[in-house]
Structure 1
């Protein structure tokens, strides 16, 4: 648990600080709009801002504003462009600062990394090669709107690895204390929360930050997707995950945020909330009872091992859709009538052709992704499925967990503490980068 980082740390940090998952939603929204050319207001080439010695041109700003208007489902008017430009310019300034800091530290991003990131985006979202560019082109938006953001994200993840990670340590007593706290919270309600974070580095920025948060909130009320607003405007490290903070227990966040969550219902979006670091807009994604059948153990399962049962209902070769539906209905009936692994066994024994088998010490990471994800948070004895597995309908259930009593594994807790501390350290580092920067916003250059 020292300050040295290994490949696992590197993959975790690159994923958390740079993976643009939500760009698929943005592309879907943009691709639905058929525009063949950018409007005339997007043709200015004056410099809208100088960030140290890096320019942001009016043309670049206008293209990003256009992208944001489409994604945010905001009407394209002069007033809306002006309001959106302030939000977008702030984000672009941060990206330039991140690129400049990377350059000062001898960090570069190869074109091959951009190409790989774009290919992964297309592959992960079922798009053909070149699909992202084609989707943007239909709206008259250049691919650089996407790739420039990728470049800043990749560069920043490298900066965090080199300049921040080495100073972040997780000690054994910290993990022990966290595990004790987790055990004391079993049975309490926990919440899955996403956030949009607007940083406030100086007291005189608080009012402008609030105005930005309120404009974002207006767009959300108008139907803008929350992940899209996160990706474009959030300064938090969680922006790479669509703002998802994961499952949090009461007392895990700052008091003002905890108090707001306690008043929220699922899918509700909060008013802007002020903390010392800035303004937050929260969305409550889900709620559940913590530790009942297992907490969230994403990240490979650590040292958690599952004792499971599998039921198979056979399908004839070359099954017709009707035959598949009949067996699926039979499987659903077994699940609905069972509340434990013992119930599942009894139901299987009573069902013609059904076979059951037990598996012990299974790592969630060794399971197919769909089943593994479900098994990590499933209740003990809860039937999962049915899944169409070759010539059978499959039901699985977790009968018990070993090594954690339904709590996150020690490895998972350590990674969670690491990422929490790393995010805070990266936020402080970015605050210092902003404070030391020379930023000249050219008010006479309009998009």
Structure 2
């Protein structure tokens, strides 16, 4: 099967995902490969030779073979994965599952709309606003975004239908249950205490894809699906794009970004894997109680009593062989500068007024990793203070301490913890709600 290269130019990503070319010859509902077509993709109103046959009915709502092909194309284009004989059946199952879920969600919203005499389905304006937001985040406009999808054989209505279902269901769950979900101060305090207790341990910056056993049918299918996704990620599919389309976790909306975590915040099986991983490494499938995880370890830092400092400097280049007079002149110039500086905000401005003085932002680092000449000053100075001139083999320096903190303090603040706990509860409610809808539904495969 022919696979085309990535689209270049403005807007080459959708939802933060790389747009890749869909095979010109799509697969039919049974998985048979169609012959490659030479016609321009925008002329494909539906796959060549494919009739509008009914594949599944969901409480009398039909899902056609064309619907499945379109959703498969959307999954492929927005996740950046490549079609193989191995992953094609899973792509088809994922396309069908997502369409079934959306039919059930929209049916429930229509029923509730009648009862409440208020339309709960997202309007065209809301969908278009979402498309505009996505387009802006990808440096294009709505027309450009839709045209790019169309060039890959994805019709605009396919994309809009997915967005409409997502917006509507998210709004309904939050609107109906958001005020009922309560996170107590005790829960937040317990979470903060756990973070503090774990702050001495290594911390991990993690992204995740979670494949839910129940959603895909079984634990074995979840393992198989996760293995196929890992294969695609290793071939270059963007992690965030895959997470948005295939992850069952609430973090899918953020491209799988979990943020910084410590031991105990992830399932035990994931914690054990993280301990053995290196930054930049992608895990193998990690089976947990009811899901399979794929984790990307983006960064790792040691815990303990280390201190992180953010520094800026003003320096005068001076070789190690400089004379005593040169050293004294540089020192005097920096002492005069120091008298005019009252913190990080004014250092750059004042340094720019003195000839021969170079300003630089040194970023954040652990104190123990700093150059010896800087370590003592960084430890002793308070935030906002500026050092006396410091001599190194490279020159004479003033350093300003812009921030100082212990690792772990930025893992999550009060509001972030509250939002995270509320989001977890709402995600569980939505999951149970959809499960109940599916259990009571009549889903027939033709």
Find out whether 1:210 has 2:223 as its counterpart: yes
Q: TM-score, length-normalised on structure 2?
A: 0.68
Question: Which residue of structure 2 lines up, in the alignment, with residue 124 of structure 1?
Answer: 137
Deviations 1:250-302 (A, max 9, x none): 111222222222222223222222333332222222223469668xxxxxxxx
SS at match of 1:104: helix
Question: Which residue of structure 1 lines up, in the alignment, with residue 325 of structure 2?
Answer: none
Question: Which residue of structure 1 lines up, in the alignment, with residue 367 of structure 2?
Answer: none
Query: Cα gap change, 1:66/1:164 in structure 2, threshold over 3 Å: closer, same or farther?
Result: same
Correspondent of 1:181 among 194, 207, 215:
194
Distance in 1 of aligned mates of 2:390 and 2:86: 69
Distance in 2 of aligned mates of 1:202 and 1:66: 21
For structure 1, which segment, 145-154 or 70-79, has the greater mean C-alpha deviation from structure 2 after superposition? 70-79
Find out whether 1:162 has 2:175 as its counterpart: yes
Q: Give how far 1:110 is off.
A: 0.8
Q: Give how far 1:139 is off.
A: 2.0
SS at match of 1:269: coil
Distance in 1 of aligned mates of 2:85 and 2:191: 51
Gaps of 5+ in 2: 1-12, 25-39, 114-119, 309-341, 365-369, 392-396
**How many matched pairs?**
359
Higher relative contact order (CA 8 A, sep 6+): 1
Question: Which residue of structure 2 lines up, in the alignment, with residue 428 of structure 1?
Answer: 432
Question: Which residue of structure 2 lines up, in the alignment, with residue 26 of structure 1?
Answer: 17
Question: Which residue of structure 2 lines up, in the alignment, with residue 364 of structure 1?
Answer: none
Larger Rg: 2
Correspondent of 2:93 among 86, 89, 107:
86
For structure 1, which segment, 166-175 or 32-41, has the greater mean C-alpha deviation from structure 2 after superposition? 32-41
Correspondent of 1:282 among 295, 302, 309:
295
Query: Cα gap change, 1:186/1:91 in structure 2, threshold over 3 Å: closer, same or farther?
Result: same
Q: TM-score, length-normalised on structure 1?
A: 0.67
Question: Which residue of structure 2 lines up, in the alignment, with residue 331 of structure 1?
Answer: 360
Gaps of 5+ in 1: 1-21, 295-306, 318-322, 358-380, 382-396, 443-447
Question: Which residue of structure 1 lines up, in the alignment, with residue 415 of structure 2?
Answer: 411
**Residues 199, 262 of structure 2: 8 Å contact kept:** no
Distance in 2 of aligned mates of 1:236 and 1:400: 31
Correspondent of 2:272 among 235, 248, 259:
259
Alignment of 1:268-417 (within 5 A): 268-289=281-302, 309-310=344-345, 311-313=347-349, 330-332=359-361, 340=378, 345-346=386-387, 381=401, 397-399=402-404, 408-417=412-421
Query: RMSD of the TM alignment (CA)?
Result: 4.0
Distance in 2 of aligned mates of 1:241 and 1:203: 22
Deviations 1:132-159 (A, max 9, x none): 1122122232122321221111112122
For structure 1, which segment, 62-71 or 405-414, has the greater mean C-alpha deviation from structure 2 after superposition? 405-414
Query: Cα gap change, 1:150/1:289 in structure 2, threshold over 3 Å: closer, same or farther?
Result: farther
SS at match of 1:168: coil
